A and B are shown apart, each in its own frame.
Chain A
């Protein structure tokens, strides 16, 4: 089976900092992949290159049969790659339903109103439907951000820290809703995550980043036990959490 998304020797430098060093990865349609790594390891840079926000210095990115390097975020979105953001990107003055409706209309849904109601139900946003997005609690903002990204034309969904900024006991509930909706939509997911419990629970494969390079790639039970991963990724995470 051919890969849904494949990158080949991606390089990206910001002055002296190497954000991506020779990243070669391949993603299948039916595996949920988690990208892990400390802050600055290159996870978000990777997402930004895949979505066209940053242009790699060199290397290729294949989405299906197509090389998407050099395309704008808008063109890449139209091909079916959508993303959510670490800081939710919403239309603050519009209510939740309007936010979703716009997303579906831009995506060219056959029946945007029906698609909106379906998304409200699937993401359990019904009780908030007529609240302005600017006045929502953080957990709901995160859900809405993912719900907007997951429109009718999405094939690949990239989630940048879907549970950051919400309390520990909310994280699991949010991921349950998100993964349920994703599964129902039949969309492939790659998510960046710092919480290793969430990673172990939801990912079928883990890719660990360190200093712009990949130091681990495989099933979570193997990657999360690798020495380097424990030292550079999880170690720093626990130290960070304790501080």
Chain B
């Protein structure tokens, strides 16, 4: 009930933003949603005891898949682009997952990073995809309905809001049930999971697939927001940003990634404006404070409040 209420309220708020907020806020909120969806996938992985330093791979694949539709096949439908972004990432994750699901801890993290850097290298080298400059995309319809010029981003934000909330609800359902418990069990003790008759490999594989798909969806959302893709989407700093947001928010709630992404974007915008030379320093100090005082992420504050209330 509380969950349904939270979803409806946030959907209403986001649609309100999409209708009435100035363009720059619409743009920023879209980026927040895009990153939040990617971090939602990281949350699923972290609950399985794994951290991927290479979600930029799927973010990039999702963004480029969406952009290629527009650029090479002249499909300019935003709905199709979102689906294509998630689907392309899912296919790549399904393939790489076969290998990655056999690794844990630092090996998993580094291998995922390596794959993302391979994509980055390929994108930089391929002239047909615009090399380091990337290329633009244009979406003019949404599931066949033409969008009035100038209102594209507002429509994309509303669509992104629906995607993000649906993704968050599905993820919540997944992690609060048997599957989520099984993931925690794999994190705690794989030996016992095997000796109870379940496959840790399968749990990791499926959660990796989910995380990849969500990152692809996030990539497509970001591509629509920016109207441009470049290899930076797959670069390791992008992946690092996702991990940063995930740690900032914590893994206790599916809302945490979105709040953390919002805080991150606001900090970055303010930092770029007022302290362009030291904003990364303040980011580092902020992370240090989180790890030392709130190791469960910002969401622990909300939890403590509820408990004391």
Contacts and interface: CB of A to CB of B under 8 A. Distances in A.
Interface in A74-93: 74, 77-78, 82-83, 89-93
Contacts, number: 60
Contacts of B195: 51, 73-74, 77, 82-83, 89, 149
A105 B184 CA distance: 14
Interface string A148-164: 11010100000000000
Contacts of B187: 93
B80 interface: no
Nearest to B182: A102
Given A89-B192, A91-B189, A107 B197 contact: yes
Contacts of A89: 189, 191-192, 195
A105 B178 contact: yes
B196 interface: yes
Contact of B184 (A78, A94, A153): A94
Contact of A77 (B181, B182, B184, B197): B197
A103 interface: yes
A135 interface: no
Q: Is the interface of B mostly helix, strand, loop or mixed?
A: helix
B197 A92 contact: no
A98 B196 contact: no
A6 interface: no
Interface of B: 178, 181-182, 184-185, 187-189, 191-199
Interface of A: 51, 72-74, 77-78, 82-83, 89-94, 98, 101-103, 105-107, 148-149, 151, 153
26 contacts: A51-B195, A73-B195, A74-B198, A77-B194, A82-B195, A89-B189, A89-B195, A90-B188, A91-B185, A91-B189, A91-B192, A92-B188, A92-B189, A93-B188, A94-B181, A94-B185, A94-B188, A101-B181, A102-B182, A105-B178, A106-B182, A106-B193, A106-B197, A107-B196, A107-B197, A148-B196
Given A89-B189, A105-B181, A106-B182, 18 more contacts: A72-B194, A73-B195, A74-B199, A77-B195, A83-B195, A89-B192, A90-B192, A91-B185, A92-B189, A93-B184, A94-B181, A98-B181, A102-B181, A102-B182, A102-B185, A106-B196, A106-B197, A148-B192
